[in-house]
Amino acid sequence: MRKLIIPVIVLVVIVLLMSLFVIPEGKRGIVVRFGRILKDDNVAKIYEPGLHFKMPLFDRVKRLDAKIQTMDGRADRFVTSEKKDVIIDSYVKWRIEDFGRYYLTTGGGNALTAQALLERKVTDVLRSEIGSREIKQIVSGPRNDNVLPDSADEDVVATEAAKQALEIDGQRDQIMEEVLLNTRKSAMKDLGVYIVDFRMKKINLPDEISESIYKRMRAERESVARKHRSQGREKAEIIKAQAELEVATILAEAGKTARVTRGDADAKAAKIYSDAYNKDMEFYTFLRSLKAYEESFSQKSDILVLDPQSEFFQYMNKSGGSHSK
């Protein structure tokens, strides 16, 4: 009898150990018996973290991750409404909501299978959203309808680039919201997972499209630059014409003033000469002759051929002079 007690105890311990299972924190468990998930009221029975019991040999425990998981999908190519390709890199945050359905639809809770199915759903919805929009709507956020601050430079605001930026009705956030809502419904219904968030990390263009867009952007910038240069030349011509007009006006006023001043001086000089002539005609004639001599013999090399007895030398020919007042 004693010989049987020890084996029985060992067997009981083994059975007890086989009946116990632990669900770690961050996990949830389901028990499969004869290929069927144990249920409570037709709903899969979920085992929370902790110590639980099961039927040994017949029950198999499947532990599923209950934390939020990230599916960082590979970058894929999509076609816009303009028939142009864009390369979008995105990610999805998700968690298991219906563990029973997730287990059945993913072939026993295979995470890789779940991600493949989820990625297909996200890609299909995203492809539909991208296909109904243009590139400028995809890459831009919502349009800012607020009035620009008063301190903004009016010349900058008036540029074509600023106008185009204000006219773009960006729908990037709307696309992500639509993909999130549509994928969330489908994923919950088919996979038993809840989509927490969806984001487009990066939006790129194929090299050939990027080059054509860069060329168009350069052409637009060159057009704006030519417009500004043309406006600058026009303003320069206006400023130059105004400056020339001001110069001409100033010179005309200066010439007028000079002529008036010169006329007044000539009139005063003529009056002085007239007064001097009237006071002493011979002395006036003598001064005029001296002035003529000075101007005629201002240079040593000057040669003047005249008759010595001419009237020009009348004061030189007089040894003592005959002037008397």
Read out DSSP for 59-79? EEEEEEE-S-EEEEPPPEEEE
Give domain status of residue 73, yes or no.
yes
Mean pLDDT of the 14-22 span: 78
pLDDT at 323: 45
Mean pLDDT of the 58-63 span: 83
More confident residue, 119 or 167: 119
Mean pLDDT of the 253-278 span: 86
pLDDT at 8: 72
Judgement on whether residues 18 and 123 belong to the same structural domain of the protein: no
Judgement on whether residues 189 and 297 belong to the same structural domain of the protein: no
pLDDT tier at 233, thresholds 50, 70, 90:
very high
Q: If we measure between CA atoms, which residue out of 170, 169, 165 comes closest to residue 224?
A: 165
Split into its structural domains, the chain has a count of 3
Q: What percent of the chain has pLDDT over 70?
A: 79
pLDDT at 249: 93
Judgement on whether residues 96 and 15 belong to the same structural domain of the protein: no
pLDDT tier at 165, thresholds 50, 70, 90:
very low
More confident residue, 117 or 143: 117
In this predicted structure, the answer to whether residue 321 has a pLDDT above a threshold of 60 is no
- Do 63 and 153 form a contact (C-beta atoms < 8 A)? no
Of 13-17, 75-79, 295-299, 319-323, where does mean pLDDT reach its minimum? 319-323
Give domain status of residue 124, yes or no.
yes
Judgement on whether residues 108 and 191 belong to the same structural domain of the protein: yes
Judgement on whether residues 107 and 182 belong to the same structural domain of the protein: yes
Structure tokens at 211: 């080059």
Would you call 93 exposed, middle or buried from its count of C-beta atoms within 10 A (0-12, 13-18, 19+)?
A: middle
Q: Residue 28 to residues 25, 172, 194: CA-CA distances in angstroms?
A: 8, 36, 15
Judgement on whether residues 136 and 42 belong to the same structural domain of the protein: no
- Do 29 and 52 form a contact (C-beta atoms < 8 A)? yes
In this predicted structure, the answer to whether residue 182 has a pLDDT above a threshold of 50 is yes
Output the average pLDDT for the chain. Answer: 80
- Do 196 and 94 form a contact (C-beta atoms < 8 A)? yes
Contacts of 25 (CB under 8 A, 6+ apart): 49
Give domain status of residue 324, yes or no.
yes
User: Position of tokens 């028990």?
Assistant: 31
pLDDT at 317: 64
Give domain status of residue 214, yes or no.
no
Question: DSSP letter at 198?
Answer: E
Query: Of 42, 65, 88, which one is at a domain's C-terminal end?
Result: 65
Query: Of 65, 90, 106, which one is at a domain's C-terminal end?
Result: 65
Q: What percent of the chain has pLDDT over 90?
A: 29
Highest-scoring range by mean pLDDT, 219-228, 278-287, 315-324: 219-228
pLDDT digit string, tens, across residues 282-299: 777 777 777 777 777 666
Structural domain containing residue 10:
2-65
Judgement on whether residues 196 and 73 belong to the same structural domain of the protein: yes
Give domain status of residue 132, yes or no.
yes
Query: Of 21, 49, 65, which one is at a domain's C-terminal end?
Result: 65
In this predicted structure, the answer to whether residue 160 has a pLDDT above a threshold of 90 is no
In this predicted structure, the answer to whether residue 150 has a pLDDT above a threshold of 50 is no
Judgement on whether residues 96 and 182 belong to the same structural domain of the protein: yes
Mean pLDDT of the 310-317 span: 64
Judgement on whether residues 117 and 178 belong to the same structural domain of the protein: yes
Contacts of 34 (CB under 8 A, 6+ apart): 58
How many Å apart are CA 19 and CA 235, to the nearest integer?
Answer: 93
Give domain status of residue 24, yes or no.
yes
pLDDT at 297: 66
Would you call 23 exposed, middle or buried from its count of C-beta atoms within 10 A (0-12, 13-18, 19+)?
A: buried
Judgement on whether residues 196 and 89 belong to the same structural domain of the protein: yes
Give domain status of residue 180, yes or no.
yes
How many Å apart are CA 29 and CA 50, to the nearest integer?
Answer: 10
Judgement on whether residues 94 and 45 belong to the same structural domain of the protein: no
pLDDT at 153: 44
In this predicted structure, the answer to whether residue 41 has a pLDDT above a threshold of 90 is no
Mean pLDDT of the 114-136 span: 90
Mean pLDDT of the 148-166 span: 45
Give domain status of residue 271, yes or no.
no
Mean pLDDT of the 218-234 span: 91
Of 45-54, 269-278, 286-295, where does mean pLDDT reach its minimum? 286-295
pLDDT at 162: 46
Judgement on whether residues 15 and 37 belong to the same structural domain of the protein: yes
